[in-house]
Amino acid sequence: MMRNITPLFGISLTTPSLPPPVLVYWRTPPEGFYKVNIDGCVKDGFASRRGIIRDSSGQCVRAFFSSYGECPILEAELRAIFDGIIIAQRLVLSDLWIESDSTLAIHCITRGGGHWSIQVTLRHIRHLLTFDRDTISHIYREGNKVADLLASEGWDHRCYFTYSTQDLPRRYRSLVQIDRHEIPTVRGL
Protein backbone atom coordinates (compact mmCIF):
# COMPACT_ATOMS: atom_id res chain seq x y z
CA MET A 1 0.00 0.00 0.00
CA MET A 2 1.38 3.41 -1.04
CA ARG A 3 0.64 6.41 1.08
CA ASN A 4 1.07 10.06 0.11
CA ILE A 5 3.66 11.43 2.55
CA THR A 6 4.24 14.82 0.88
CA PRO A 7 1.96 16.68 3.35
CA LEU A 8 4.20 15.51 6.19
CA PHE A 9 7.09 17.47 4.65
CA GLY A 10 5.04 20.52 3.70
CA ILE A 11 5.48 20.07 -0.03
CA SER A 12 3.07 19.75 -2.89
CA LEU A 13 3.64 17.70 -5.98
CA THR A 14 1.00 19.36 -8.10
CA THR A 15 2.05 20.32 -11.58
CA PRO A 16 2.32 24.09 -11.93
CA SER A 17 0.08 25.52 -14.58
CA LEU A 18 1.94 26.91 -17.55
CA PRO A 19 0.84 30.07 -19.28
CA PRO A 20 -1.04 29.39 -22.50
CA PRO A 21 0.85 29.75 -25.79
CA VAL A 22 0.78 33.22 -27.31
CA LEU A 23 0.94 34.24 -30.97
CA VAL A 24 3.69 36.83 -31.46
CA TYR A 25 3.62 39.13 -34.48
CA TRP A 26 6.15 41.58 -35.84
CA ARG A 27 4.17 44.66 -36.86
CA THR A 28 5.11 47.08 -39.61
CA PRO A 29 5.63 50.64 -38.41
CA PRO A 30 3.16 53.37 -39.38
CA GLU A 31 3.64 55.25 -42.65
CA GLY A 32 6.74 57.46 -42.46
CA PHE A 33 8.27 55.58 -39.51
CA TYR A 34 11.26 53.26 -39.45
CA LYS A 35 11.38 50.31 -37.12
CA VAL A 36 14.74 49.46 -35.56
CA ASN A 37 14.74 45.94 -34.09
CA ILE A 38 17.70 45.50 -31.78
CA ASP A 39 19.26 42.69 -29.83
CA GLY A 40 22.33 42.83 -27.64
CA CYS A 41 23.69 39.57 -26.35
CA VAL A 42 26.49 37.98 -24.38
CA LYS A 43 27.81 34.49 -25.07
CA ASP A 44 30.74 33.06 -23.13
CA GLY A 45 31.40 36.56 -21.74
CA PHE A 46 31.66 38.03 -25.25
CA ALA A 47 29.13 40.72 -26.19
CA SER A 48 27.71 41.51 -29.61
CA ARG A 49 24.92 43.58 -31.01
CA ARG A 50 22.74 43.13 -34.01
CA GLY A 51 19.79 44.85 -35.54
CA ILE A 52 17.70 45.61 -38.58
CA ILE A 53 16.05 48.81 -39.74
CA ARG A 54 12.87 48.46 -41.81
CA ASP A 55 10.55 50.95 -43.46
CA SER A 56 6.77 51.17 -43.19
CA SER A 57 6.31 48.45 -45.80
CA GLY A 58 8.54 46.11 -43.75
CA GLN A 59 11.40 46.20 -46.26
CA CYS A 60 14.95 46.06 -44.93
CA VAL A 61 16.77 49.37 -45.11
CA ARG A 62 19.89 48.19 -43.26
CA ALA A 63 20.93 45.20 -41.14
CA PHE A 64 24.01 45.28 -38.96
CA PHE A 65 26.07 43.37 -36.44
CA SER A 66 29.28 43.84 -34.53
CA SER A 67 31.06 42.75 -31.41
CA TYR A 68 31.93 44.67 -28.25
CA GLY A 69 34.30 42.42 -26.41
CA GLU A 70 33.43 41.79 -22.79
CA CYS A 71 30.58 43.61 -21.05
CA PRO A 72 27.45 42.74 -19.04
CA ILE A 73 24.22 41.89 -20.89
CA LEU A 74 22.36 45.10 -19.95
CA GLU A 75 25.22 47.20 -21.23
CA ALA A 76 25.26 45.17 -24.47
CA GLU A 77 21.51 45.72 -24.92
CA LEU A 78 21.78 49.47 -24.32
CA ARG A 79 24.80 49.86 -26.59
CA ALA A 80 22.90 47.98 -29.30
CA ILE A 81 19.98 50.41 -28.97
CA PHE A 82 22.34 53.39 -29.07
CA ASP A 83 24.16 52.04 -32.14
CA GLY A 84 20.86 51.32 -33.92
CA ILE A 85 19.76 54.92 -33.41
CA ILE A 86 23.13 56.21 -34.65
CA ILE A 87 22.94 54.05 -37.79
CA ALA A 88 19.39 55.27 -38.49
CA GLN A 89 20.45 58.89 -38.07
CA ARG A 90 23.44 58.41 -40.38
CA LEU A 91 20.95 57.17 -42.98
CA VAL A 92 18.97 60.38 -42.31
CA LEU A 93 16.01 58.41 -40.96
CA SER A 94 13.75 59.96 -38.36
CA ASP A 95 10.49 58.95 -36.72
CA LEU A 96 11.99 55.82 -35.23
CA TRP A 97 10.25 52.92 -33.52
CA ILE A 98 12.88 51.08 -31.48
CA GLU A 99 12.02 47.52 -30.46
CA SER A 100 14.10 45.40 -28.11
CA ASP A 101 13.47 42.12 -26.35
CA SER A 102 15.07 43.53 -23.18
CA THR A 103 12.39 44.89 -20.86
CA LEU A 104 15.09 46.00 -18.43
CA ALA A 105 16.88 48.12 -21.07
CA ILE A 106 13.59 49.75 -22.09
CA HIS A 107 12.72 50.40 -18.44
CA CYS A 108 16.10 52.06 -17.82
CA ILE A 109 15.65 54.31 -20.87
CA THR A 110 12.04 55.32 -20.22
CA ARG A 111 11.91 55.37 -16.42
CA GLY A 112 15.52 55.78 -15.33
CA GLY A 113 17.56 53.79 -12.90
CA GLY A 114 20.28 51.27 -13.44
CA HIS A 115 23.87 50.90 -12.36
CA TRP A 116 26.18 53.92 -12.64
CA SER A 117 28.18 52.17 -15.38
CA ILE A 118 25.29 52.48 -17.88
CA GLN A 119 24.31 56.08 -17.13
CA VAL A 120 26.44 57.63 -19.88
CA THR A 121 24.91 55.32 -22.50
CA LEU A 122 21.42 56.09 -21.17
CA ARG A 123 22.08 59.84 -21.44
CA HIS A 124 23.27 59.43 -25.03
CA ILE A 125 20.17 57.41 -25.96
CA ARG A 126 17.79 59.90 -24.33
CA HIS A 127 19.60 62.77 -26.07
CA LEU A 128 19.17 61.14 -29.50
CA LEU A 129 15.52 60.10 -29.10
CA THR A 130 12.70 62.58 -29.48
CA PHE A 131 10.12 61.02 -27.16
CA ASP A 132 7.19 63.01 -28.58
CA ARG A 133 7.97 61.53 -32.02
CA ASP A 134 10.06 58.37 -31.55
CA THR A 135 8.78 55.21 -29.85
CA ILE A 136 10.55 52.53 -27.86
CA SER A 137 8.83 49.28 -26.97
CA HIS A 138 9.31 45.66 -26.00
CA ILE A 139 8.95 42.73 -28.38
CA TYR A 140 9.23 39.09 -27.45
CA ARG A 141 12.30 37.30 -28.76
CA GLU A 142 10.03 35.31 -31.08
CA GLY A 143 9.03 38.57 -32.79
CA ASN A 144 12.63 39.74 -32.98
CA LYS A 145 13.82 36.81 -35.11
CA VAL A 146 15.90 38.71 -37.67
CA ALA A 147 17.89 40.63 -35.07
CA ASP A 148 18.30 37.47 -33.02
CA LEU A 149 19.60 35.47 -35.99
CA LEU A 150 22.21 38.11 -36.80
CA ALA A 151 23.84 37.23 -33.46
CA SER A 152 25.80 34.31 -34.80
CA GLU A 153 27.43 36.56 -37.39
CA GLY A 154 28.53 39.00 -34.68
CA TRP A 155 30.13 36.17 -32.73
CA ASP A 156 31.58 34.39 -35.75
CA HIS A 157 33.13 37.40 -37.48
CA ARG A 158 33.87 39.67 -34.51
CA CYS A 159 33.80 42.73 -36.72
CA TYR A 160 31.41 45.51 -37.69
CA PHE A 161 29.32 44.75 -40.74
CA THR A 162 26.19 46.08 -42.41
CA TYR A 163 23.92 44.68 -45.09
CA SER A 164 21.90 46.85 -47.43
CA THR A 165 18.61 45.69 -48.92
CA GLN A 166 20.37 44.29 -51.98
CA ASP A 167 23.01 42.21 -50.21
CA LEU A 168 20.95 40.86 -47.30
CA PRO A 169 21.55 37.06 -47.26
CA ARG A 170 18.64 34.79 -48.19
CA ARG A 171 18.19 33.40 -44.65
CA TYR A 172 17.42 36.93 -43.42
CA ARG A 173 15.34 37.93 -46.44
CA SER A 174 12.98 35.02 -45.83
CA LEU A 175 12.43 36.09 -42.21
CA VAL A 176 11.87 39.69 -43.32
CA GLN A 177 9.17 38.44 -45.71
CA ILE A 178 7.53 36.38 -42.94
CA ASP A 179 7.45 39.50 -40.76
CA ARG A 180 6.14 41.71 -43.60
CA HIS A 181 3.18 39.36 -44.03
CA GLU A 182 2.63 39.30 -40.25
CA ILE A 183 2.87 35.54 -39.99
CA PRO A 184 2.93 34.81 -36.24
CA THR A 185 5.37 32.77 -34.21
CA VAL A 186 4.14 30.78 -31.21
CA ARG A 187 5.61 31.65 -27.82
CA GLY A 188 5.34 29.19 -24.95
CA LEU A 189 5.25 25.79 -26.61
Instruction: Give the pLDDT confidence of 8-27 residue by residue, as tens digits.
Output: 666 666 666 778 888 999 99
Decide if 125 contacts 88 (C-beta within 8 A).
no
Separation in Å, CA 89 to CA 36, 106, 110, 133? 11, 20, 20, 14
Q: What is the value of pTM for the model shown?
A: 0.84
Domain boundaries, the chain: 27-180
* Architecture of the 27-180 domain: 2-Layer Sandwich (3.30)
pLDDT band at 108 (very low <50, low <70, confident <90, very high): very high
141 Cβ neighbours under 8 A, 6+ residues apart: 39, 101, 148
Pairing mode, if any, of strands 46-54 and 60-69? antiparallel
pLDDT band at 53 (very low <50, low <70, confident <90, very high): very high
